[in-house]
Amino acid sequence: MSTRIRAHWLLGSLCLLTAPALAVAPGETDAAKIMAAVQARPEGNRTKSRVLMMVKDSAGRERKRVVQSRAIDFPEGRKQMMLFESPADVRNTGLLSVDYDDGKKDDDQWLYLPSLRKSTRIAAGDKSGSFMGTDLTFADMTTQDPRDYAYKMLDANASEGGEACWLIEARPNNDKTATETGYVKTELCVSKDKLMPLRIKAWVKEGKKLKFIKFDDIQKLNGIWVVKKILAQTKRGDEVESKTIIAIQEVAFDQPDVKMEDFNQRRLEQGL
Amino acid sequence: MGGRPPALALLLTATLAGFPAAADSPPAEEDWGNEPAPPSDDWGDDSSSTDDTISFDESDLTLEAARALSLTGFIRSDWGFWLERFGDDPPPDGRAAWSKGRQSLDLVLTGKQDFFRFRLAGHGEYDLRYLGDQAGSWDDFDDATEETYGWQILLREAFGAFSLGPVELTIGRQIVAFGEGDALSPLDVVNPRDNREPGLADLDDIRLAVLATRLAVFAGNHRVELMVIHEADFGLRSPPLGPCSAFNEVIPDAFRPLLVGKDVRFVDLQDRFDIELQQPLLRWVYKGPELDAGVYAAYVLDKQGTFAFPDAASVVDPTVKQLSLELDHQSYGVVGTSGAWAWDSLLVKWELGAQIQRAINVGDAAALPPRVEVERHSLIDVMVGLTYTPFSDLQLALEFQKSTFVTDADEVLFPIDLPIFALRMNYQLLNQRLTLGAAVSMFGLTSADEIGVLARASVDYEFIDGLQAGIGFIHYTPSDTLGPLSGLSTHDQLFLKLRWDFTVL
């Protein structure tokens, strides 16, 4: 059974956060046990989705990105491919990620820039950088090993939008994880009913910023909870620097045309 | 891609209008990240006051259906100004300090259906600076230069690709990048390049498509590819008397007065399409856990070529108005291996290759009469690159390349074995709206006479999706002896660009 953490919102949503596989009582106060249950839930496999990302800065200037995403599980972890559909200047830019369950093993990531006609391996340190100008980072799209975090229950009786949840702190317990993610710590509000995060607050080391993420429009499709909208914003002090809204559309899973042999350089370079 | 030191980047960030840099200081170091969690109604959701500053129109979240056919493009306007070119003898009204006024349009049509996909791309450009020269507004350049820089219509990639299981066949004009290096890549021998503006053109603009057939077989993380180039295209280059030609340095001083009024051009000896000039290439590439690796073999035409001076009678004869400088692009062998390995914030890249029996010029061009001959020699090429990401959105990359003659080579005319260092920095801010770039390339190491330096800095800003403006500066310090930057002694330039990317379909 997978032990991967889904604390990072984009991957969590794209991977179609699903119903819990491990039962945890609403009165549970052991944060690590709750997060293990969150992380151990079954995932939708062979998934496809089309994702709209809108970024707006404090001056109101708006940018839109549309991404087509595919993901598939393999024995050691999960592979994910994202291909940019728009705008025109980033069309066919692709990211192939191979995320390993074993946190000690560096994930593999390749970025294909069509202007260079070359897919380039990305070093792990790059993962704290912004992903295509959004409030998300490369690290947000990779899985994290729960052994790399120390969990702490902040509030066992919190609520979010009237929904009962646990407020849990996740703090990297090693420098490597802290550097890779760029986060000092994160706070997650985990739904007791859905056993999935409803909102996340992340302390960004660089610039001492705060990131806020809210999962919205959560729908149950074919028995699986699916997040259809994510709101992320970056704040410095009280000022909102930028905000990203992510609308996940055309979600489908167990797709026969999502095949293992397509998660390679060939598909990455072929583009859309 | 490039960058600037963080201090400058921060300064620029703070001075950008409209950007709320540190409007409220973050918490003190010791407190930051440790304050208690805010109550849920102060989190910043749709009901909080912080959201009043940025709001989305939810109707914009509707996506149009994805299309199988796509037509995109970009319009680009590039302007340049020589900063020191005419410093010793400035033109009367300053007009000749204008170096570039290039306007260009690129269009790309792509489509995919089942096992077939295609790409059709074209590029058209004209340069007001050179067209003005051609029209007689100025008289700074010869005819060959005006034609090369004045306007170009290029068919870029135009190929169809057929997939059948693990096999893919691609036929047509295509661009294929060999090797791992970015700025320096001795194995990247597939495509000719646009070398009209050394160091000035973006890396992604300089590869030119070439007619080829490519058969690839994919198995897991492995790819084996056989390619045959059918076209003897050696790229675009500055004409012999052009603004960026090293040939200006090769011409013996005694000959210069004789060239006034003559039309001097490079002429490639090889026909562009010759059935006997097929260039085979083979590569195996592995991109798997932790490591990328590749092995390459090729037998290609030398894109640089060797030259021979025109016969002296033509040079001294005032009635001969056109002089041809013949370039002979002989075939030679290339074998090599490349790799990339990531460790934490470091990415290590390497290439190790050999050029087998490559034809090169030897002799003494300054002698009277000039003595230039052709010999075949073999070289070993080494490239090592290191990319470091000290913190988010800042990339530092250093590449080093050195070629070494395996065979005895005396009086090599162009020092193709010089060590080369290429340092690049790239820093992105404001959610990648602002990009600060810097690049320094140094040719030569051991002798002061052979050292040449190229330095470039740029700032690019994206106003809205697809609309980008940039400003930059490039400096050349050519070596005292003949080198890669020869002929660029007074070419420091300020350049501006405006680019708009659009989608038609």
> Judged by CB atoms within 8 Å, which residues 331-350 of B form the interface with A?
340, 342-347
Six-digit token pair at A48?
A: 């496809």
Write the single-letter amino acid at B348: V
Which one of B23, B207, B465 has the shortest CB-CB distance to A237?
Answer: B23
pLDDT > 80? residue A85: yes
Taking CB atoms and an 8 Å limit, are B391 and A128 in contact across chains? yes
Q: Is residue B15 part of a domain?
A: no
What does the pLDDT read at residue B125? 96
Cβ contact, residue pair A91, B503, below 8 Å: yes
Instruction: Please report whether residue B82 resides in a domain.
Output: yes
- pLDDT digits 0-9 by tens, A30-67: 999 898 888 777 667 888 999 998 988 888 888 888 99
Task: Assess B429–A contact: CB distance below 8 Å, yes or no.
Answer: no
* Mean predicted confidence (pLDDT) in A203-210: 85
The pLDDT tens digits for B259-270 are 877 888 999 999
CA distance A207 to chain B (A): 8
CA distances from B379 to B177, B307, B358, B407, B417 (A): 21, 20, 8, 7, 8
Q: Which domain holds residue B374?
A: 67-503
Percent of chain B with pLDDT over 90: 57
Q: What is the CATH number of the domain that holds B210?
A: 2.40.160.10
For residue B45, list chain A residues with Cβ-Cβ distance below 8 A.
199, 214, 231
In a domain, A119, yes or no: yes
β-strand B194-195 against B236-237: which pairing, if any?
A: parallel
Q: How confident is the model at residue B23 (pLDDT cuts 50, 70, 90)?
A: very low
By CA distance, what is B1's nearest residue in A?
A116
In B, residues 63-82, which contact A (CB 8 Å cutoff)?
63, 66, 70, 72-74
Nearest to A130 among B45, B112, B393 (CB): B393
Contact state of A266 with B430 under an 8 Å Cβ cutoff: no
Nearest-Cα distance to chain B for A162, in Å, is 10
**Is B272 among the domain residues?**
yes
Find all residues with CB under 8 Å of B65, minimum gap 6, and list them: none
B1 pLDDT higher than 70? no
How many angstroms separate the CA of residue B398 from the nearest CA in chain A? 15
**ipTM of the complex in this document:** 0.83
Which pLDDT score, from 0 to 100, does residue B88 have? 56
- Of A231, A243, A265, Cβ closest to residue B287: A265
Check CB contact under 8 Å for A240 and B290: no
In this prediction, residue A148 has a pLDDT band, given cuts at 50, 70 and 90, of confident
Q: Is B18 part of a structural domain of the chain?
A: no
| Minimal C-alpha gap between A180 and chain B (Å) | 8
Residues of chain B in contact with residue A176, where contact means CB-CB under 8 angstroms, are 344
Partners of residue A92 in chain B, C-beta under 8 Å: 110
Mean pLDDT of all residues in B312-340: 91
In a domain, A127, yes or no: yes
Task: Categorize the per-residue pLDDT at B39 as very low, low, confident or very high, splitting at 50, 70 and 90.
Answer: very low
A vs B, Cβ pairs < 8 A, gives 233
**CATH at residue A45:** 2.50.20.10
Q: Is B1 within the bounds of a domain?
A: no
Token code pair at residue B349 = 């890249």
Q: How many domains, in total, are found in chain A?
A: 1
Model confidence pLDDT, tens digit, residues A98-108: 988 777 777 88
Q: Which chain B residues touch A81 with a CB distance below 8 Å? A: none
B61 and A245: CB-CB below 8 Å? yes
Chain B from 100 to 119: CB within 8 A of any A CB: 110, 112, 117
- C-alpha B437/C-alpha B65 separation (Å) is 37
Residue A262 lies in a domain: no
Domain membership flag for residue A59: yes
Output the pLDDT for position B17. Answer: 28
Q: Domain for residue A260, yes or no?
A: no
Q: Inter-chain contact B390–A125, Cβ cutoff 8 Å? A: yes
Could you tell me which of B74, B68, B73, B75 has the C-alpha nearest to residue B110?
B68
Domain annotation covers residue B167: yes
CB B209 within 8 A of CB B158: yes
Say yes or no to pLDDT of B222 above 50.
yes
Beta strand B151-164 with B167-174 is antiparallel
- Distance between first and last Cα of chain A: 33
- Check whether A11 has a pLDDT greater than 70: no
Put simply, the chain B residues between 297 and 326 with a CB less than 8 A from any chain A CB are none
User: Could you give the count of Cα atoms lying within 13 Å of A92 in the half-sphere of its Cβ?
Assistant: 25
Q: Which B residues, 376 through 415, put their C-beta within 8 Å of a C-beta on chain A?
A: 387-393, 395
| Among chain B residues, CA nearest to A159 | B40
Distance between CA atoms of residues B190 and B178, nearest Å: 7
Q: Does B166 touch chain A (CB under 8 A)?
A: yes
What integer pLDDT is reported at residue B55 of this predicted model? 63
Please write the tens of the pLDDT for every residue from B50-62: 344 456 666 677 7
Chain A residues touching residue B37 (CB < 8 angstroms): 154-155, 167, 187, 201
* Nearest residue of chain A to residue B47 (CA atoms): A161
Mutate to test the interface with A, among B13, B41, B52, B54 (most CBs of A within 10 A): B54
Q: Note whether residue A258 is domain-resident.
A: no
Residue B10 lies in a domain: no
Angle, alpha carbons B401-B407-B408 (nearest 5°): 105
* Range of lowest pLDDT (A212-216, B353-357, B472-476): A212-216
Helix, strand, coil percentages (3-state) for chain A, rounded to 5, are 20, 50, 30
Question: What would the pLDDT profile of B230-272 be if each residue is shown by its tens digit?
Answer: 999 999 999 988 888 888 777 777 777 888 778 889 999 999 9
Residue B46, domain member (yes or no): no
* Summary count for chain B: helices (H), strands (E): 6, 23
Contacts of B205 in chain A (CB under 8 A): 115
Helix, coil or strand: residue A261: helix
| Residue B44 pLDDT > 70 | no
B66 touches B110 (CB < 8 A): no
Mean pLDDT of B95-117: 90
- From chain A, the residues in CB contact with B43 under 8 A are 199, 201, 212, 214
- Domain that residue A242 falls in: 9-253
Chain A residue with CA closest to B63: the answer is A52
